[in-house]
Structure 1
Protein backbone atom coordinates (compact mmCIF):
# COMPACT_ATOMS: atom_id res chain seq x y z
CA UNK A 1 0.00 0.00 0.00
CA UNK A 2 1.32 3.45 -0.92
CA UNK A 3 1.42 6.05 1.87
CA UNK A 4 -0.16 9.21 0.49
CA UNK A 5 0.09 11.12 3.76
CA UNK A 6 2.40 14.10 3.35
CA UNK A 7 4.62 15.72 5.92
CA UNK A 8 3.10 18.66 7.70
CA UNK A 9 5.54 21.52 8.00
CA UNK A 10 5.31 24.71 10.02
CA UNK A 11 7.05 27.79 8.63
CA UNK A 12 7.89 31.06 10.33
CA UNK A 13 7.52 34.71 9.31
CA UNK A 14 7.73 38.17 10.81
CA UNK A 15 4.86 40.38 9.66
CA UNK A 16 3.94 43.97 10.37
CA UNK A 17 0.58 45.06 11.73
CA UNK A 18 -0.80 45.26 8.18
CA UNK A 19 0.26 41.70 7.37
CA UNK A 20 3.23 42.57 5.16
CA UNK A 21 6.03 40.02 5.43
CA UNK A 22 9.16 41.63 6.88
CA UNK A 23 11.31 38.48 7.20
CA UNK A 24 10.99 34.71 7.04
CA UNK A 25 12.81 31.59 8.14
CA UNK A 26 14.72 29.57 5.57
CA UNK A 27 13.88 26.35 7.42
CA UNK A 28 10.62 25.05 8.77
CA UNK A 29 9.86 22.42 11.34
CA UNK A 30 8.14 19.15 10.56
CA UNK A 31 5.14 18.53 12.79
CA UNK A 32 5.72 15.39 14.79
CA UNK A 33 4.94 13.67 18.06
CA UNK A 34 7.68 15.51 19.99
CA UNK A 35 6.31 18.93 19.06
CA UNK A 36 2.70 17.81 19.45
CA UNK A 37 3.46 16.33 22.87
CA UNK A 38 4.94 19.44 24.50
CA UNK A 39 3.48 20.10 27.94
CA UNK A 40 1.55 23.36 27.61
CA UNK A 41 2.14 24.20 31.27
CA UNK A 42 5.92 24.09 30.69
CA UNK A 43 5.91 25.44 27.10
CA UNK A 44 2.87 27.74 26.95
CA UNK A 45 3.79 29.27 23.59
CA UNK A 46 5.22 26.36 21.59
CA UNK A 47 2.74 24.00 23.23
CA UNK A 48 -0.08 25.82 21.46
CA UNK A 49 1.18 25.43 17.90
CA UNK A 50 -1.11 23.54 15.53
CA UNK A 51 -0.11 21.67 12.38
CA UNK A 52 -2.92 23.03 10.17
CA UNK A 53 -3.45 26.53 11.50
CA UNK A 54 -1.51 29.76 11.88
CA UNK A 55 -0.38 30.88 15.32
CA UNK A 56 0.54 34.53 15.84
CA UNK A 57 2.62 35.92 18.70
CA UNK A 58 2.76 39.59 19.66
CA UNK A 59 5.69 41.34 21.32
CA UNK A 60 4.96 40.06 24.84
CA UNK A 61 4.22 36.52 23.70
CA UNK A 62 7.40 36.46 21.61
CA UNK A 63 9.37 37.31 24.74
CA UNK A 64 7.95 34.25 26.52
CA UNK A 65 8.58 32.13 23.42
CA UNK A 66 12.25 33.12 23.39
CA UNK A 67 12.57 31.88 26.99
CA UNK A 68 11.16 28.49 25.96
CA UNK A 69 13.44 27.67 23.04
CA UNK A 70 16.65 27.01 25.03
CA UNK A 71 14.72 24.72 27.41
CA UNK A 72 13.27 22.49 24.69
CA UNK A 73 14.15 18.80 24.80
CA UNK A 74 16.62 17.72 22.13
CA UNK A 75 15.03 16.88 18.80
CA UNK A 76 11.84 18.96 19.10
CA UNK A 77 13.24 21.60 16.74
CA UNK A 78 16.22 21.35 14.45
CA UNK A 79 19.18 23.51 15.45
CA UNK A 80 18.69 25.61 12.31
CA UNK A 81 15.02 26.28 12.99
CA UNK A 82 15.66 27.00 16.70
CA UNK A 83 18.24 29.64 15.68
CA UNK A 84 15.74 31.21 13.28
CA UNK A 85 13.00 31.25 15.93
CA UNK A 86 15.37 33.13 18.24
CA UNK A 87 16.55 35.50 15.49
CA UNK A 88 13.07 36.31 14.18
CA UNK A 89 11.60 36.46 17.69
CA UNK A 90 14.25 39.01 18.60
CA UNK A 91 13.32 41.02 15.50
CA UNK A 92 9.73 41.16 16.80
CA UNK A 93 11.00 42.41 20.16
CA UNK A 94 13.20 45.04 18.49
CA UNK A 95 10.66 46.40 16.01
CA UNK A 96 7.41 48.21 16.75
CA UNK A 97 4.20 46.65 15.43
CA UNK A 98 5.73 43.31 14.42
CA UNK A 99 4.29 39.83 14.94
CA UNK A 100 5.78 36.35 14.75
CA UNK A 101 3.69 34.01 12.61
CA UNK A 102 3.98 30.22 12.74
CA UNK A 103 2.29 29.04 9.54
CA UNK A 104 0.78 25.57 9.59
CA UNK A 105 0.20 23.69 6.34
Structure 2
Protein backbone atom coordinates (compact mmCIF):
# COMPACT_ATOMS: atom_id res chain seq x y z
CA UNK A 1 0.00 0.00 0.00
CA UNK A 2 1.25 3.46 -0.89
CA UNK A 3 0.08 6.20 1.47
CA UNK A 4 -0.39 9.82 0.47
CA UNK A 5 0.30 13.01 2.40
CA UNK A 6 1.17 16.66 1.96
CA UNK A 7 4.28 17.82 3.78
CA UNK A 8 5.97 21.16 4.16
CA UNK A 9 9.65 21.96 3.75
CA UNK A 10 10.41 20.95 7.32
CA UNK A 11 8.75 17.56 6.82
CA UNK A 12 5.68 18.41 8.87
CA UNK A 13 2.44 16.79 7.76
CA UNK A 14 -0.13 19.29 6.50
CA UNK A 15 -2.74 16.79 5.23
CA UNK A 16 -3.08 13.03 4.86
CA UNK A 17 -5.29 10.81 2.76
CA UNK A 18 -7.40 8.09 4.32
CA UNK A 19 -7.18 5.93 1.21
CA UNK A 20 -3.93 4.56 -0.12
CA UNK A 21 -2.84 3.39 -3.53
CA UNK A 22 -3.20 -0.36 -3.86
CA UNK A 23 -0.17 -1.30 -5.97
CA UNK A 24 -0.84 -3.59 -8.92
CA UNK A 25 1.17 -4.65 -11.94
CA UNK A 26 -0.96 -2.22 -13.93
CA UNK A 27 1.11 0.68 -12.61
CA UNK A 28 4.31 -0.88 -13.90
CA UNK A 29 2.63 -1.38 -17.27
CA UNK A 30 1.76 2.31 -17.72
CA UNK A 31 3.42 3.92 -20.75
CA UNK A 32 6.28 6.06 -19.38
CA UNK A 33 5.77 8.65 -22.13
CA UNK A 34 2.09 9.08 -21.27
CA UNK A 35 2.36 8.68 -17.46
CA UNK A 36 5.80 9.95 -16.37
CA UNK A 37 4.53 11.16 -12.99
CA UNK A 38 2.57 8.03 -12.05
CA UNK A 39 5.37 5.80 -13.33
CA UNK A 40 7.54 7.25 -10.57
CA UNK A 41 5.35 5.59 -7.91
CA UNK A 42 7.17 2.77 -6.14
CA UNK A 43 5.49 0.37 -3.72
CA UNK A 44 8.68 0.28 -1.60
CA UNK A 45 9.93 3.86 -1.90
CA UNK A 46 8.70 7.42 -1.85
CA UNK A 47 7.73 9.72 -4.71
CA UNK A 48 7.46 13.46 -4.13
CA UNK A 49 5.69 16.01 -6.32
CA UNK A 50 6.21 19.76 -6.04
CA UNK A 51 3.81 22.56 -6.95
CA UNK A 52 5.03 22.67 -10.57
CA UNK A 53 4.58 18.91 -11.04
CA UNK A 54 1.08 18.69 -9.56
CA UNK A 55 -0.70 19.90 -12.75
CA UNK A 56 1.07 17.16 -14.71
CA UNK A 57 0.00 14.59 -12.13
CA UNK A 58 -3.61 15.83 -12.27
CA UNK A 59 -3.62 15.48 -16.07
CA UNK A 60 -2.39 11.90 -15.72
CA UNK A 61 -5.10 11.12 -13.17
CA UNK A 62 -7.68 12.32 -15.77
CA UNK A 63 -6.56 9.64 -18.23
CA UNK A 64 -5.71 6.88 -15.76
CA UNK A 65 -7.28 3.53 -16.75
CA UNK A 66 -10.40 2.88 -14.67
CA UNK A 67 -9.06 -0.40 -13.28
CA UNK A 68 -6.21 1.49 -11.56
CA UNK A 69 -8.42 4.17 -10.06
CA UNK A 70 -10.33 4.03 -6.80
CA UNK A 71 -11.02 6.28 -3.82
CA UNK A 72 -7.34 7.16 -3.79
CA UNK A 73 -7.73 9.19 -7.01
CA UNK A 74 -10.32 11.50 -5.45
CA UNK A 75 -8.15 11.97 -2.38
CA UNK A 76 -5.03 12.51 -4.50
CA UNK A 77 -6.86 15.32 -6.30
CA UNK A 78 -7.78 16.90 -2.96
CA UNK A 79 -4.17 16.73 -1.80
CA UNK A 80 -3.04 18.25 -5.10
CA UNK A 81 -5.31 21.22 -4.37
CA UNK A 82 -3.68 21.63 -0.96
CA UNK A 83 -0.26 21.74 -2.61
CA UNK A 84 -1.43 24.21 -5.28
CA UNK A 85 -2.93 26.59 -2.69
CA UNK A 86 0.06 26.58 -0.35
CA UNK A 87 3.70 27.52 -0.38
CA UNK A 88 6.58 25.10 -0.01
CA UNK A 89 4.26 22.09 0.07
CA UNK A 90 4.84 18.69 -1.51
CA UNK A 91 2.62 15.72 -2.27
CA UNK A 92 4.24 12.54 -1.01
CA UNK A 93 3.38 9.00 -2.08
CA UNK A 94 4.92 6.92 0.69
CA UNK A 95 5.68 3.28 -0.06
CA UNK A 96 6.04 0.56 2.56
Secondary structure of 2:31 counterpart? coil
Tell me the residue number matched to 1:67.
59
Tell me the residue number matched to 1:101.
92
In the alignment, is residue 45 of structure 1 matched against residue 40 of structure 2?
no
Gaps of 5+ in 1: 1-8
Tell me the residue number matched to 1:22.
14
The aligned length equals 96
Offset at residue 77 of structure 1 (A): 2.2
Once residues 29 and 10 of structure 2 are traced to their aligned partners in structure 1, the CA distance between those partners, rounded to angstroms, is 33
TM-score normalized with structure 2 length: 0.96
Gaps of 5+ in 2: none
Q: 2:74 aligns with which of 78, 83, 92?
A: 83
Could you say what the CA RMSD is over the residues aligned between the two structures, in angstroms? 0.8
TM-score normalized with structure 1 length: 0.88
Secondary structure of 1:31 counterpart? coil
Once residues 10 and 17 of structure 2 are traced to their aligned partners in structure 1, the CA distance between those partners, rounded to angstroms, is 19
Deviating runs (4+, > 6 A) in structure 1? none
Once residues 15 and 77 of structure 1 are traced to their aligned partners in structure 2, the CA distance between those partners, rounded to angstroms, is 23
Deviation sequence 1:21-48 (CA, Å, 0-9, x none): 0000000011111122111110110011
Larger radius of gyration: 1
Tell me the residue number matched to 2:24.
32
